């Protein structure tokens, strides 16, 4: 029980702590996810803002370049359109003040001037002198459209450039086209700034095919791949998504993994020539703070969880140790280390679920004296040794315990009394020859009680019942001086239990009227009619239990209660006769059984006559049955009493004649009025071969007749019995043939109401 409770408590504590941990982890996870989400959101917004910024700076740069070119076109349109050499010189000079690599002017006839920075100028050049992009730009400008070309490798400057083209007007008329190529690196300053994402990122410029136009020098990807679709950038799964977004000129967030690290990136359309800003977040810079704070939060949570787990483990260990200590106290004997009675009781109930067996309780004879003689220390040592011996004498599935003082209990998986006795004898022998006392002349002796489990009873109940029974067995074994083994005897125990019940309840029962008067008719053998009745007691306890005289009369005779009961029954008989007389019924004499103790009380005669007076009944209605055994001690004293009673008018009957030390002398010596032949005579006489018994009976009846003593035969059960007693000359018969003892109401109904009619 205790063990289960403790385990339950431990389990509860573990579950509680585990729940707290899980809850904490969930909260931590959710919080960290929230922070991460917030950080990502922040980064995205920041990325977009920055991309917008860079976009506008790029566009501004383009715009500025366009403006420069447009201003130049206005200037060209007015003065230099016809003089190509002059134009070439001017163009060459202007190049000192701008970043254009090449400036080309073409008139309507597509004759042009090309001025390369740091190189010679070319006049009257055909359109074919220009790159395809340049030619296209010139053509668009001729038709009035300003444009910026795609990036291409210039054959003139032999470097990657793109071309701005604007028309040249004379008034409203287009007189020519001006184009200028510019290295794309002009954006590099913008894009390679270390301020991207607060230093935590970098930006490439790509076109809608994913080809790099400008690679930031801060790139984490060191491989020189031409496109973001090559190399380590995009996983197969995100490639399609990115491609689609690029084609649709949409903004897209994605990420790539490089050297085991994931980098989120943003593709932001510039809004010109399908250019894209490829903004990569490296996690440093501005983000590093938020990343750090997330890390701190995560670490904090992890630390708290670790702390909880540590506390939990520590608490668990403390609780377990505490539980173990409690269990030790609850289930173990502190002196010997053996299990205690609580544990034994529990194990017994468990063991009986699967097997039958026996329990043995044993103690050391005169243990208190032994302690007094040899001292507490020695007697404690002895108990410890017994524990070790007991340990050696149990087999698998068996167990034992030490209860208080020198009391030990064992459970053997054995029901055979012979085997149990042999095993116990070995155990006792080992304890008796104990080394502690070998050199003294003190003889250790053990007394054991044994009880074997019953078949088919509930294990829990049987365990309790066995533990009760074992005390009775041990109590029986206690007497004597040498070692004893006593097996619990169910029959004996029942008898003892009954005796205990009788002795503890007899006074109350007498007061409560539980002793009932039953009457058995006596039949006159000549007339065949009722000539009297014997008062027989029945104990009908209020709890419904019926106890017969043979079960309690012998006990009452030894404890003296018989005197109370007999007087009570005599009074009941008197009361009954009074009742008949009061009700106009012709009374019959009632025989009451009198015990020796009452009969020899000094004031017995007085008591009896007082009763007669009290109920105002003539003494001849009361016959006093005495037993032949009373005559053994002093016949004269008995006779004196008999005569005294007869003088008062009572009749005296000698009961159970022939059952004990009967002799015909008794008949001769006692002044009795009636002799009741014991039932044994009829039992023996029923056997036809026992003719001698008949002769004896006949002789007794004849002698009694001559002495003026009437004869009654007890235990007349059959017509043959009646025939026999009639033949030998008995006066009266009593037995089941006529009637069993009846309750007063039954007796009255059967015999006395009939006598009323007669009156
Ligand atoms: P008892 O005085 O010899 O009573 C006769 C017993 O034999 C009664 O048993 C009765 O029931 C039984 N009996 C009668 N006819 C037959 C028969 O045909 N066959 C058999 N087998 N038995 C028959 P009961 O009532 O159990 O009484 C037993 C004894 O207890 C009595 O023997 C008597 O000695 C004693 N007893 C009964 N009542 C009292 C009482 O109030 N006081 C005293 N001191 N002793 C009593
Ligand atoms: Mg009797
Ligand atoms: Mg009798």
Closest protein CA for atom 22 of ligand 1 = 715
Greater confidence (78 vs 424) lies with 424
Percentage of residues in the chain with pLDDT exceeding 70?
A: 94
Res 285 pLDDT > 60? no
Work out the mean pLDDT of the chain and round it to a whole number.
86
Query: Hey, which bits of 40-129 come out as E strands?
Result: 102-107, 112-116, 121-125
Distance in angstroms (rounded) separating the CA atoms of residues 689 and 707: 30
Which residue minimizes the CA distance to atom 30 of ligand 1? 549
Kindly give the distance from the C-alpha atom of residue 723 to the centroid of ligand 1, in angstroms, as a whole number: 22
- Mean pLDDT is highest, among 241-255, 259-273, 550-564, for 550-564
Indicate which ligand has the atom closest to the C-alpha of 657. 3
Measured by CA distance, the residue closest to atom 41 of ligand 1 is 537
- pLDDT in the model for residue 267: 87
Mutational test site, ligand 1, from 535, 539, 549, max ligand atoms within 8 Å of CB: 549
Determine the atom of ligand 1 nearest the C-alpha atom of 714: 15
**What pLDDT shows up at residue 727?**
94
More confident residue, 675 or 317: 675
What's the 655 CA to ligand 2 centre distance in angstroms?
5
Q: How confident is residue 369, by pLDDT bands cut at 50, 70 and 90?
A: confident
Dist. CA 16–CA 19, nearest whole Å = 5
- DSSP, collapsed to helix, strand or coil, labels residue 533 as strand
Residue 658: CB within 6 Å of ligand 1? no
pLDDT score of 758: 47
Q: Which atom of ligand 1 is nearest to the CA of 741?
A: 11
Output the residue whose Cα is nearest ligand 1's atom 25.
536
Residue 78 pLDDT exceeds 60: no
Ligand 1 within 6 A of 312 CB?
Answer: no
The ligand with the least distance to the CA atom of 716 is 1
Nearest alpha carbon, ligand 1 atom 15: 735
Of 133-147, 233-247, 430-444, 449-463, minimum mean pLDDT range: 430-444
Per-residue pLDDT at 80 exceeds 60: no
Most ligand 1 atoms within 8 A of CB, residue of 515, 519, 536, 622 to mutate? 536
Residue nearest to atom 27 of ligand 1 (CA): 549
* Beta carbon of 128 within 6 Å of any ligand 1 atom: no
Pairing of strands 212-214, 252-258: unpaired
Measured distance CA(121)–CA(137) in Å, rounded: 20
Among protein residues, the one with the nearest Cα to ligand 1's atom 42 is 593
Burial class (CB in 10 A: 0-12, 13-18, 19+), 81: middle
> Which of 593, 595, 740 to probe ligand 1 with, by most ligand atoms within 8 A of CB?
593
Residue 676 CA to ligand 2 centre (angstroms): 8
The torsion region of residue 31 among left (phi > 0), alpha (psi -120 to 50) and beta comes to alpha
Closest ligand to the CA of 549? 1
Please, which pLDDT band fits residue 630 given cuts at 50, 70 and 90?
Answer: confident
Question: Of all protein residues, whose CA lies closest to atom 40 belonging to ligand 1?
Answer: 593
Rg (the chain; Cα; Å): 65
Evaluate if residue 637 carries a pLDDT over 80.
yes
Q: Per-residue b/e over 219-251, b at no fewer than 16 CB within 10 Å?
A: bbbeeeeeebbeeebbeeeeeeebbebbeeeeb
Binding site membership of 185 for ligand 1 (Cβ less than 6 Å): no
> Residues 6 or more apart from 410 whose CB is under 8 A from it?
359, 360, 362, 390, 393, 394, 398, 399, 400
- The minimum-distance atom of ligand 1 relative to the CA of 566 is 42
Residue 356: the pLDDT is 92
Residue 258 has pLDDT above 90, yes or no: no
As a whole number, mean pLDDT of residues 259-288 equals: 78
Report residue 290's pLDDT band, with 50, 70 and 90 as the boundaries. Answer: low
* Lowest-pLDDT range of 195-199, 380-384, 470-474, 504-508: 195-199
How confident is the model over 492-497, as a mean pLDDT?
A: 86
Q: Which residue has the higher pLDDT, 129 or 653?
A: 653
Mean pLDDT confidence for 59-80: 78
pLDDT band at 507 (very low <50, low <70, confident <90, very high): very high
Return the number of other C-beta atoms located less than 10 Å from residue 553's C-beta: 16
Pairing mode, strands 530-540 and 732-734: unpaired
Residue 609: its pLDDT value, please? 97
**What is the DSSP secondary structure assignment for residue 748, as one 8-state letter?**
I
| Ligand 1 atom at minimum distance from 627 CA | 34
Mean pLDDT for the stretch of residues 729-736 = 97
Between residues 470 and 150, which one has the greater pLDDT? Answer: 470
Contact, 485 vs 492, CB < 8 A?
Answer: no
pLDDT of 194? 63
Q: What percent of the chain has pLDDT over 90?
A: 40
Nearest ligand to the C-alpha atom of residue 515: 1
Does residue 369 contact residue 481 with C-beta atoms inside 8 Å? no
Q: How many Å apart are CA 200 and CA 147, to the nearest integer?
A: 35
- The pLDDT value recorded for residue 759 is 43
Q: Residue 591: what pLDDT?
A: 98
- What is the spatial distance between Cα 718 and Cα 523, in angstroms, rounded to a whole number? 14
Is pLDDT of 750 > 90?
A: yes
Q: pLDDT band at residue 97, thresholds of 50, 70 and 90?
A: confident
pLDDT at residue 1, as a whole number? 61
> How many angstroms is it from 652 CA to the middle of ligand 1?
17
Longest dimension (CA), the chain: 196
Residue 601 CA to residue 514 CA, distance in Å, equals 25
C-alpha 467/C-alpha 517 separation (Å) is 40
Distance from residue 696's CA to the centre of ligand 2 (Å): 21
pLDDT of 31 over the 90 cut: no
Q: What 3-state class would DSSP assign to 556?
A: helix
625: CA distance to ligand 3 center in Å? Answer: 9
Position 189 scores a pLDDT of 67
Residue 550 Cβ < 6 Å to ligand 1: yes
Residue 184 has pLDDT above 70, yes or no: no
Give the position, in ligand 1's atom list, of the atom nearest the Cα of 678: 3
| 736 within ligand 1 shell (Cβ under 6 A) | yes
pTM for this one?
0.57
- In three-state form (DSSP H/G/I as H, E/B as E, the rest C), the secondary structure along 362-431 is EEECCHHHHHHHHCHHHHHHHHHHHHHHHHHCCCCCCEEEECCCCCEEEEECCCCHHHHHHHHHHHHHHH
Ligand 1 proximity of 593 Cβ (cutoff 6 Å): yes
619/73 Cα distance (integer angstroms): 171
Average pLDDT of the segment spanning 51-67: 83
Cα–Cα distances in Å, from 183 out to 89, 214, 215? 22, 11, 14
Is pLDDT of 439 > 70?
A: no
557 within ligand 1 shell (Cβ under 6 A): no
pLDDT band of residue 443 (cuts 50, 70, 90) is confident
* Closest residue to atom 7 of ligand 1, CA basis: 715
H or E segment and range at residue 672? none
**How far apart, in whole angstroms, are the C-alpha atoms of residue 582 and residue 195?**
135
Q: What is the mean pLDDT of residues 285-304?
A: 70
Cα–Cα dist 51/44, whole Å: 10
Any idea which of 215-219, 591-595, 621-625 has the lowest mean pLDDT? 215-219
Taking the CA of residue 676 as reference, the ligand 1 atom at the shortest distance is 3
546 vs 543: CA distance, rounded Å: 9
CA 294 to the chain's CA centroid: 44
Ligand nearest to the backbone CA of 625:
2
- For the Cβ of 520 lying below 6 angstroms from any atom of ligand 1, the answer is yes
pLDDT band at 713 (very low <50, low <70, confident <90, very high): very high
CA of 675 to the centre of ligand 2 (A): 11
| 107: β partners | 176
Say if CB 231 and CB 239 are below 8 A apart.
no
Distance between CA atoms of 271 and 187, rounded to whole angstroms? 15
Q: Which of 13-27, 618-632, 642-656 has the lowest mean pLDDT?
A: 13-27
Rounded to an integer, the average pLDDT of 112-119 is 82
> Measured in angstroms, how far is the CA atom of residue 536 from the centroid of ligand 1?
6
More confident residue, 352 or 65: 352
151 neighbors 161 (Cβ within 8 angstroms)? yes
CA–centroid distance, 535 to ligand 1, in Å, is 9
Backbone angles phi, psi at 485, to 5 degrees: -120, 125
Task: List, for residues 335-368, the tens digit of each pLDDT value.
Answer: 888 899 989 999 999 999 999 999 999 999 888 9
Is the confidence at residue 679, as pLDDT, over 60? yes
Report the separation in Å between the CA atom of 714 and the middle of ligand 3, taken as the mean of its atom positions: 6
pLDDT confidence band for 236 (50 / 70 / 90) = confident
Kindly give the distance from the C-alpha atom of residue 675 to the centroid of ligand 1, in angstroms, as a whole number: 15
Task: Give the model confidence (pLDDT) of 140-158 as tens digits.
Answer: 888 888 888 877 777 776 7
What pLDDT shows up at residue 338? Answer: 87
Name which of 251, 253, 256 is nearest 268 in CA terms: 251
Angle between helices 719-728 and 691-707 (to 10 degrees): 50
């Amino acid at each position: 029980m205790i063990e289960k409770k403790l385990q339950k408590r431990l389990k509860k504590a573990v579950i509680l702590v585990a729940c707290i941990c899980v809850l904490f982890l969930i909260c931590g996870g959710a919080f960290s996810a929230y922070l991460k989400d917030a950080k990502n959101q922040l980064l995205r917004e920041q990325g977009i803002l920055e991309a917008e910024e860079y976009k506008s700076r790029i566009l501004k740069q383009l715009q500025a370049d366009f403006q420069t070119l447009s201003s130049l076109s206005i200037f060209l349109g007015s003065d230099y359109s016809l003089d190509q050499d002059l134009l070439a010189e001017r163009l060459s000079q202007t190049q000192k003040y701008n970043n254009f690599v090449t400036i080309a002017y073409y008139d309507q006839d597509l004759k042009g001037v090309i001025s390369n920075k740091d190189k010679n100028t070319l006049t009257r050049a055909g359109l074919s002198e220009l790159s395809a992009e340049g030619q296209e730009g010139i053509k668009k400008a001729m038709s009035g459209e300003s444009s910026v070309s795609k990036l291409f490798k210039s054959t003139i400057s032999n470097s990657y450039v793109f071309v701005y083209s604007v028309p040249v007007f004379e008034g409203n008329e287009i007189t020519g086209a001006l184009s200028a190529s510019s290295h794309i690196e002009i954006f590099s300053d913008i894009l390679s700034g270390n301020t991207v994402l607060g230093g935590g990122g970098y930006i490439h410029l790509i076109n809608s095919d994913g080809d790099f136009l400008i690679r930031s020098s801060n790139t984490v990807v060191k491989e020189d791949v031409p496109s973001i679709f090559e190399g380590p950038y995009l996983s197969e799964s995100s490639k399609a998504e990115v491609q689609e977004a690029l084609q649709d000129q949409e903004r897209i967030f994605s990420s790539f993994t490089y050297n085991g690290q994931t980098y989120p990136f943003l593709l932001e359309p510039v809004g010109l020539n399908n250019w894209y800003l490829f903004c990569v977040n490296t996690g440093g810079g501005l983000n590093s703070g938020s990343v750090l704070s997330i890390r701190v939060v995560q670490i904090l949570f992890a630390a708290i969880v670790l702390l909880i787990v540590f506390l939990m483990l520590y608490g668990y260990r403390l609780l377990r140790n505490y539980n173990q200590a409690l269990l030790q106290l609850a289930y173990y004997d502190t002196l010997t280390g053996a299990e205690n009675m609580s544990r034994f009781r529990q194990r017994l109930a468990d063991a009986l679920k699967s097997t039958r067996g026996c329990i043995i309780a044993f103690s050391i004879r005169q243990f208190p004296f032994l302690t007094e003689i040899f001292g507490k220390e020695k007697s404690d040592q002895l108990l410890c040794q017994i524990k070790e011996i007991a340990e050696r004498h149990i087999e698998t599935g068996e167990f034992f315990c030490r209860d208080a003082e020198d009391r030990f209990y064992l459970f053997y998986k054995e029901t055979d009394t012979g085997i149990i006795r042999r095993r116990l004898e070995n155990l006792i022998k080992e304890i008796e020859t104990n080394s502690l006392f070998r050199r003294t002349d003190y003889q250790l002796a053990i007394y054991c009680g044994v009880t074997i489990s019953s078949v088919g009873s509930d294990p829990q109940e049987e365990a309790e019942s066995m533990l009760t029974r074992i005390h009775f067995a041990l109590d029986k074994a206690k007497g004597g001086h040498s070692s004893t083994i006593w097996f619990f005897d169910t029959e004996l125990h029942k008898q003892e239990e009954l005796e205990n019940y009788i002795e503890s309840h007899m006074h109350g029962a007498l007061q409560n009227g539980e002793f009932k008067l039953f009457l058995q008719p006596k039949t006159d053998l000549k007339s065949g009619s009722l000539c009297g009745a014997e008062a027989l007691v029945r104990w009908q306890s209020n709890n419904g239990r019926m106890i017969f005289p043979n079960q309690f009369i012998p006990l009452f005779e030894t404890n003296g209660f018989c005197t109370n009961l007999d007087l009570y029954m005599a009074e009941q008989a008197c009361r009954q006769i009074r009742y008949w007389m009061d009700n106009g019924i012709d009374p019959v004499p009632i025989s009451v059984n009198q015990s020796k103790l009452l009969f020899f009380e000094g004031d017995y005669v007085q008591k009896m006559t007082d009763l007669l007076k009290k109920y105002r009944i003539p003494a001849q209605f009361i016959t006093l049955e005495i037993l032949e055994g009373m005559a053994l001690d002093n016949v004269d004293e008995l006779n004196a009493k008999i005569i005294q009673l007869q003088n008062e008018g009572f009749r005296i009957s000698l009961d159970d004649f022939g059952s004990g030390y009967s002799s015909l002398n008794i008949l001769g010596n006692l002044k009795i009025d009636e002799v009741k032949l014991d039932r044994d005579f009829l039992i023996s006489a029923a056997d036809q071969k026992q003719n001698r018994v008949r002769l004896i009976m006949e002789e007794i009846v004849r002698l009694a007749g001559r002495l003026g003593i009437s004869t009654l035969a007890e235990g007349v059960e059959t017509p043959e019995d009646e025939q026999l007693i009639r033949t030998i000359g008995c006066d009266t018969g009593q037995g089941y043939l006529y009637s069993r003892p009846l309750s007063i109401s039954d007796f009255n109904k059967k015999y006395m109401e009939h006598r009323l009619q007669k009156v």
